[in-house]
């Protein structure tokens, strides 16, 4: 999850785009059918512990430029025997609001052990959860890499921490992880950067296209 920490005055002037999905947004489940899709916020397997508002179907949607760039990444990964496993793409603003409501309910800590074991919940707003997310601009993706095992099953590469674990262990350049784990993170980073994506240093899985096609617009159409 990308976290853009913004003051109330700044938030007030950021345009919020309602209405249907724009014509230049692409359903990646169709445009990139060979990827593995594990859209966590459609399910209860996420840090909120329930399906997130705005996710009506388990789809990855991206703005067209980001979609083409991700297709490039998938091609390069395939040349190394790898597949992309995608956790989240475009995220409606209503979903971000759901995150904020959850974060402000300090009595609900039933997912703490899995997602923020070393942080108190009141420390999540800011670097991890905020009132605006880069995902809502349509050119940010959360993902990892997968490789086939000896039985032909696609398994995630060992990245040292799971997706959406709010912890220093998830920092891309964390110095305490193993050499293999660091190499896996670096491989993902190199593949993504080769297509124009930039990593959010606190989360090894989080990448945004640079420059952003919609740098100042936050969309709110549902994922469906």
What pLDDT score was predicted for residue 9?
Answer: 34
pLDDT, tens digit (0-9, with 9 covering 90-100), for 33-83: 999 999 999 999 999 999 999 999 999 999 999 999 999 999 999 999 999
Q: Which residues are catalytic?
A: 203
Polymer length in residues for the chain: 224
Residue pair 138/223 in contact (Cβ under 8 Å)? The answer is no
The torsion of the CA quartet 195, 201, 202, 206, rounded to 10 degrees, works out to -10
Distance CA 131, CA 160 (A): 28
- pTM to 2 decimal places: 0.91
Query: Does residue 87 carry a pLDDT above 50?
Result: yes
Distance CA 185, CA 206 (A): 11
What pLDDT score was predicted for residue 203?
Answer: 97
Residue pair 33/86 in contact (Cβ under 8 Å)? The answer is no
Q: Is 142 annotated as a binding residue?
A: yes
pLDDT, tens digit (0-9, with 9 covering 90-100), for 100-117: 999 999 999 999 999 999
The pair phi, psi for residue 223, each rounded to 5°, is -85, 110
Overall fold of domain 8-219: Muramoyl-pentapeptide Carboxypeptidase; domain 2 (3.30.1380)
What pLDDT score was predicted for residue 7?
Answer: 35
What pLDDT score was predicted for residue 19?
Answer: 81
Q: Is 98 annotated as a binding residue?
A: no
Q: Is 24 annotated as a binding residue?
A: no
pLDDT, tens digit (0-9, with 9 covering 90-100), for 129-185: 989 999 999 999 999 999 999 999 999 999 999 999 999 999 999 999 999 999 999
Distance CA 7, CA 159 (A): 33
Query: Does residue 10 carry a pLDDT above 70?
Result: no
Q: Where along the chain do its domains lie? A: 8-219
What pLDDT score was predicted for residue 102?
Answer: 98
What pLDDT score was predicted for residue 4?
Answer: 38
Residue pair 75/32 in contact (Cβ under 8 Å)? The answer is no
Query: Does residue 11 carry a pLDDT above 80?
Result: no
**Beta partners for 88?**
142
pLDDT, tens digit (0-9, with 9 covering 90-100), for 89-101: 999 999 999 999 9
207 vs 16: which has the higher pLDDT: 207
């Amino acid at each position: 999850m990308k976290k853009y920490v913004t003051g109330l005055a700044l938030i007030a002037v950021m345009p919020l785009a309602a209405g249907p999905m724009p014509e230049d947004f692409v359903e990646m489940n169709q445009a990139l059918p060979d990827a593995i899709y594990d859209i966590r916020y459609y399910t209860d397997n996420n840090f909120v512990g329930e399906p997130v508002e705005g996710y009506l179907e388990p789809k990855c949607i991206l703005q067209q430029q980001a979609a083409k760039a991700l297709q490039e990444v998938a091609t390069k990964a395939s040349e190394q025997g790898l597949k992309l496993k995608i956790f989240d793409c475009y995220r409606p603003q209503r979903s971000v609001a759901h995150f904020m409501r959850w974060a402000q309910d300090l009595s609900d800590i039933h997912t703490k052990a899995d997602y923020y074991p070393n942080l108190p919940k009141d420390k999540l707003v800011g670097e991890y959860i905020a009132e605006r997310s880069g995902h809502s601009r349509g050119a940010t993706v959360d993902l990892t890499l997968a490789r086939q095992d000896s039985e032909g099953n696609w398994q995630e590469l060992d990245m040292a921490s799971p997706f959406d674990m709010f912890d220093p262990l998830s920092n891309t350049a964390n110095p305490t992880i193993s050499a293999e784990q660091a190499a896996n993170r670096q491989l993902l980073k190199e593949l993504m950067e080769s297509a124009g994506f930039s990593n959010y240093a606190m989360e090894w899985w989080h990448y945004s296209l640079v420059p952003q096609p919609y740098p100042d617009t936050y969309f709110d159409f549902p994922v469906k």
